[in-house]
Every structure is written in C-alpha cells, then in structure tokens.
Amino acid sequence: MKIASVKLREFRTQASMTEKEIINFILANPKITIEMTVHQLAEQTFSSPSSIIRMCKKNGFSGYKDLCNSLIYEQALRQRSKTYEKNKITKSDSIKEIVDKVTYRNIVSLEDTRDLLDEHTLSKCISLIENSHNLYFFGIGSSSIVAKDAQQKFLRLNQNCFVSEDWHLQLLTARNMTKNDLGVVISYSGQTEEMIECAKAMQQNAVPTISITKYDASPIVGICDYNLYVAANESTFRSGAMSSRTSQLNVIDILYTGFANTRYEDSLDLIAKTHIRKGTKNG
C-alpha cells in the first residue's frame, strides 16, 4: 500500500507551484479530501482536475481515486495507533498482562512498519548498498544497538561496514566520507541533534544517505536522500525504545536479506565461511 502523505511530502520539494497548493491542502485536510471529488478539490485549490491527476500519477498513484484510497488506509492506520493508548502499561498490570501488551505492541509495530515500507525505495537502498565502497551506520542511544547489529550482519557478507559508539567519531567520519560511500542514519524521532549534524555533514560531501526513522515529518527526513519509515507507536516507557527498536531491527534485516539476495550463491558461501562454530569444553 502506498502511503500518500509520505509520498506527497517527499515530492513537494520538486513540485510546481500548482502542485504544491494541491499537496498542501491534502496534507492539511486528509479527511476532507477523501470526501471530495476531483472537481471539488480542483476548485478548492484553484487548479484543474487534469493537474491533480498528473500530480497523482507522478507520485505512483493510478489516479485521484487511488490517492483517496491510500488516504483512507492511512487514516485507518493512524486511528489504529490511537488505540494503543488503551493498552498502556499500568502500575496494576500483572505479569501476564505485561507479556500480552508488550508482545501485542511489537507485533502491531512490525505489521504497521511493513505497510509503511515502499518497495521502490527499498530497491533503491539495496542498490546503493551494493554499489557503495564503504557502508557507515550512524546512531546513538538505543539506535546504536541497531547500528551495531547492522554492522555485524553486513560484515558477514564481506561488505566494508563501520560504526562508532562515540558521537564525535561519527561526526568526524561523516565529514570525511565521499560520494562513493553510503551513510545510514538511524533515529526513531528523526530529531536527534547529533544525527542531524552527521546527516548535514554527509549532505555537504554529496554522500548518498538513507534514514531509518518514524513515520513523520522530521529534520532528518528532509536531509536524507531515501527514508525508510517505522511505525510511531512507542509505549509508556518510551526511554526503553521497545517497539521502535524491534521495527528498526526488522528494517535492517530486510536490507540485509535484500542485499544478500542480489548475490545469492556468494552470500551463502560467505555466511558459511564466517560462521563461528561453538566448541564444547571437555571435562
């Protein structure tokens, strides 16, 4: 399913003035838009039905109806996120209730993240990984755990892959990267200042960049070339970064598997070669 607001936000930077008026209205009034005909929307935005349909097709929709269907689906997804609040962890919860609620959140987060991932964007990202000289992952806090997991995976496929726990080293790395490298910025909020600085440094060096962040407008989304979204449905204990971390790890697994699949036989050989057997102790 194509997520309308994601596509429209990303297209807005290259849209014409007329298209921007249409996009701005849709993003500000999604519920109203799905009740309107193409002619009513054209009148409201001082455009024409043909301009709206062309804009829809530029964003991968077959037409205005297809765009509206995506908006309806997106509204349902947002409504579903609101129901998570009814499943907050409370002080009186039993262990069984905690097990059920945490598991439910993680499952739903993975399902929603699956629906947010765009196949075309994923293909572009895998192609960038395949053609990069060096692959660098950026993240602090809980996102650094995801970055280290990514490094471990891609190293097994003999891909030059780097990550540093120290933010200053990450910034130095970003400033020294070239257009032949690839940077992957991991930030659930998309607003982490340190990650924004790293993304800007890579942008200045014309380094291709990918973000893994929550489904929302954010500074990092505006800087990176390609954005992979995870569902924004963290629980009461946000500092634990539970469902977001699970979703981010899932995105890494998808990128890793997609990359491995581009060189299937070689990947199988490399995985077998890098497998570390666990010995048994005598006595």
Are residues 130 and 255 both part of a single domain? Answer: yes
Are residues 135 and 216 both part of a single domain? Answer: yes
Are residues 162 and 250 both part of a single domain? Answer: yes
CATH of the domain at 237: 3.40.50.10490
Residue 137 has pLDDT above 60, yes or no: yes
Model pLDDT, residue 283:
46
Sign of CA dihedral 183, 61, 17, 38: negative
Name the band, by pLDDT with cuts 50, 70 and 90, for residue 236.
very low
CATH of the domain at 25: 1.10.10.10
Are residues 165 and 62 both part of a single domain? Answer: no
For residue 124, tell me if it sits in a domain: yes
Residue 242 has pLDDT above 80, yes or no: no
Name the band, by pLDDT with cuts 50, 70 and 90, for residue 250.
very high
For residue 112, tell me if it sits in a domain: no
11-57 per-position pLDDT tens digit: 887 899 999 999 999 999 999 999 999 999 999 999 999 999 999 99
> Domain containing 252: what range?
119-273
Are residues 59 and 143 both part of a single domain? Answer: no
Domain count, the chain: 2
Do 38 and 64 meet the contact criterion of CB atoms below 8 Å apart?
Answer: yes
Q: Is 10 exposed, middle or buried (0-12, 13-18, 19+ CB in 10 A)?
A: middle
Give 176 or 272, the one with higher predicted confidence: 176
Output the pTM of the full model.
0.72
Q: What mean pLDDT do residues 191-212 have?
A: 96
User: Tokens 């689906």 identify what position?
Assistant: 73
Q: What percent of the chain has pLDDT over 70?
A: 89
Name the band, by pLDDT with cuts 50, 70 and 90, for residue 232.
low
Q: What percent of the chain has pLDDT over 90?
A: 58
